[in-house]
C-alpha cells in the first residue's frame, strides 16, 4: 500500500516537471509495412535500448545522425501508450489553458493514425474527448463544463467548415475576424455542443468524410490540406461563479513532403507552394515565440493566424513528428526531424500560471516528504 502510494506521488511529480515548459515534441515512428518489406527496403531508425528520448538515423553510407525529443514512440507502441503521454497536455484545457496539438510529417507516416485512428485503434482526438467528459463528470461538484466541437479544413489558404458541409448546407466561405478581446474568431463556423462519447465518434467520422468531398482520390486531397478539430471548453466555477473559455486545437497537418520539381505544374504547384508556406510559417511562429523576438509572424498563413491566441504566452503546444522507418524515405525523414528539432530547441512563454506554480510546489513537497518517509522506513 505504501509503495503504491509513493510510486503514484513520484509519477505525479515527474509529470509536473515534464509539463513545466510550454512546447513539447514527441516523435513517432510507424512500423515498416508489407510493401516496404517486399521491396527490400531496410529499417533506418535505431532506438536506444535504455533511453526513450533519443534515436539514430542510419544514412546510406552507414553514418548515423542523432536526434533528441521529449519522447520517442516506437513502431510497437500502442495508441494507449501515446495517449497516456498526451493526456496531461490536452486535459489542461479544463484548467483554462489554450492548447495546440499538431501531427507533422510526410504523407503515409501516420499523422491521421495518431490523431484520428481507426475504429479498432482510436486516436488522440477521440480519446481526448472521452477524457474531457470523464474529468468534467468527476469535477461536477465544483465545476460545470460545456463542450463544443468544430471541424475545419485549410486548403490552398481557404477555410472550409467540415461540419456545415455535412449538414447539406451550401459551402460557406469562412474568414478569420479579429474579436474585440484580441482573439481570433471564425464567424459562421459550426460549433456542435457535445454531451457524450457516442455522438462524438459519429461527429468526428462525418467531419473527416466531408474532408474528402470534391476529390476523386480521397487520400490525395487529405494529404494536401490541414484538418483542424477545435474543442471549445466553457467552464463555470459553481463556488465563486467565475467563468472560463478555452480552446484545444487538434491538427492533422498537410503532408510535409517536398514535391519533385519536374512533375509539378499548375494546380499541383500552387497547392505545394501553399503547403510549404503554411508549414514554414508554423515553424517560424514557434521559433519566434521561443527566441522572444518582438514580432511574431502570425499573419503569414491562415493556419497560424487562426491559431494566434492558442500559440505562445502560457498556451501549451505539442507536436508529433511522424516518421517512416524505411530507407526509401531517408531524405524526407531527415527533413522532418530537422524541422522538429528547430521547433524543439526552444521554450516559449515566460509566465507560468499561478496555478501551475502552486501545483509544482505541492508536488515538490510531496517528493520531499516521500524522500523523508523512505529514510524513516530504512
**CB 67 within 8 Å of CB 54:** yes
CB of 342 to ligand ADP, least distance (A): 20
Closest to ligand ADP by CB, 27 vs 343, is 27
CB of 149 to ligand ADP, least distance (A): 20
**Separation of alpha carbons 44 and 195, rounded Å:** 45
Number of residues forming the site for ligand ADP (CB under 6 A): 12
Is 223 a binder of ligand ADP (CB under 6 A)? yes
91 is in an annotated binding site: no
**CB 58 within 8 Å of CB 46:** yes
| Residue numbers at the binding site for Mg ion (CB under 5 A) | 111-112
**Separation of alpha carbons 208 and 153, rounded Å:** 10
112 is in an annotated binding site: yes
65 is in an annotated binding site: no
Residue 25's φ and ψ, nearest 5 degrees, are -125, 120
Q: 83 touches which of Mg ion, ligand ADP, none (CB within 5 to 8 A by kind)? A: none
Cell triple for 12: 505525479
177 is in an annotated binding site: no
CB of 244 to ligand ADP, least distance (A): 33
Q: Which of 166, 208, 287, 322 binds ligand ADP (CB under 6 A)?
A: 322
255 is in an annotated binding site: no
Closest to Mg ion by CB, 6 vs 322, is 322
Q: Which of 21, 31, 283, 313 binds ligand ADP (CB under 6 A)?
A: 31
- Longest alpha-carbon distance in the chain: 74
Please enumerate in sequence order all residues whose Cβ is within 8 A of that of 371, keeping only pairs 6 or more positions apart, or say none.
Answer: none
In Å, what is the CA distance from 340 to each residue of 23, 148, 256, 280, 315? Answer: 11, 30, 12, 11, 19
CB of 343 to Mg ion, least distance (A): 20
182 is in an annotated binding site: no
Q: 30 touches which of ligand ADP, Mg ion, none (CB within 5 to 8 A by kind)? A: ligand ADP
Closest to Mg ion by CB, 111 vs 247, is 111
User: Residue 41 gets which letter from DSSP?
Assistant: P
Cell triple for 240: 465563486
**Separation of alpha carbons 230 and 150, rounded Å:** 5
**Separation of alpha carbons 63 and 334, rounded Å:** 13
Closest to Mg ion by CB, 109 vs 327, is 109
User: Residue 160 gets which letter from DSSP?
Assistant: E
Other C-beta atoms within 10 Å of 49: how many?
Answer: 5
- Per-residue x/- mask for ligand ADP, residues 92 to 121, rule CB under 6 A? -------------x-xxxxxxx--------
The contact set with ligand ADP (CB under 6 A) reads 30-31, 105, 107-113, 223, 322
Residues annotated within the binding site are 105-112
| Residues in the annotated binding site for ATP | 105-112
Amino acid at each position: 500500500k505504501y509503495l503504491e502510494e509513493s510510486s503514484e506521488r513520484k509519477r505525479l511529480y515527474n509529470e509536473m516537471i515534464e509539463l513545466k515548459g510550454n512546447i513539447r515534441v514527441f516523435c513517432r515512428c510507424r512500423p515498416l509495412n508489407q510493401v516496404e518489406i517486399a521491396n527490400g527496403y531496410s529499417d533506418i531508425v535505431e532506438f536506444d535500448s535504455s533511453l526513450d528520448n533519443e534515436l539514430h538515423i542510419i544514412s546510406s553510407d552507414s553514418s548515423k545522425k542523432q536526434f533528441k525529443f521529449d519522447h520517442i514512440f516506437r513502431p510497437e507502441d500502442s495508441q494507449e501508450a501515446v495517449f497516456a503521454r498526451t493526456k496531461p497536455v490536452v486535459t489542461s484545457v479544463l484548467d483554462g489553458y489554450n492548447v495546440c496539438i499538431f501531427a507533422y510529417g510526410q504523407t503515409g507516416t501516420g499523422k491521421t493514425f495518431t490523431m484520428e485512428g481507426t475504429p479498432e485503434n482510436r486516436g488522440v482526438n477521440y480519446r481526448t474527448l472521452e477524457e474531457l467528459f470523464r474529468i468534467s463528470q468527476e469535477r461536477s461538484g465544483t465545476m460545470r463544463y460545456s463542450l463544443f466541437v468544430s471541424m475545419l479544413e485549410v486548403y490552398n489558404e481557404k477555410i472550409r467548415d467540415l461540419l456545415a458541409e455535412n449538414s447539406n448546407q451550401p459551402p460557406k466561405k469562412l474568414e478569420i475576424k479579429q474579436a474585440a478581446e484580441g482573439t481570433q474568431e471564425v464567424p459562421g463556423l459550426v460549433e456542435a455542443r457535445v454531451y457524450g462519447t457516442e455522438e462524438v465518434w459519429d461527429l468526428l467520422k462525418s467531419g473527416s468524410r466531408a474532408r474528402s468531398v470534391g476529390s476523386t482520390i480521397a487520400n490525395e486531397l487529405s494529404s494536401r490540406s490541414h484538418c483542424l478539430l477545435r474543442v471549445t471548453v466553457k467552464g463555470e466555477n459553481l463556488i465563486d461563479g467565475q467563468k472560463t473559455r478555452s480552446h484545444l486545437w487538434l491538427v492533422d497537418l498537410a503532408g510535409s513532403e517536398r514535391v519533385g520539381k519536374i512533375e509539378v505544374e499548375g494546380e499541383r504547384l500552387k497547392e505545394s507552394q501553399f503547403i510549404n508556406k503554411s508549414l514554414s510559417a508554423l515553424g517560424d511562429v514557434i521559433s519566434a515565440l521561443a527566441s522572444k523576438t518582438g514580432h511574431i509572424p502570425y499573419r503569414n498563413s491562415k493556419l497560424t493566424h487562426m491559431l494566434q491566441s492558442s500559440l505562445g504566452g502560457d498556451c501549451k503546444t505539442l507536436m508529433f513528428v511522424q516518421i517512416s522507418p524505411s530507407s526509401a524515405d531517408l531524405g524526407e525523414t531527415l527533413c522532418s526531424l530537422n524541422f522538429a528539432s528547430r521547433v524543439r530547441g526552444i521554450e516559449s512563454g515566460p509566465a507560468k500560471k499561478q496555478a501551475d506554480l502552486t501545483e509544482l510546489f505541492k508536488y515538490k513537497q510531496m517528493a520531499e516528504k516521500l524522500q523523508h518517509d523512505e529514510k524513516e522506513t530504512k
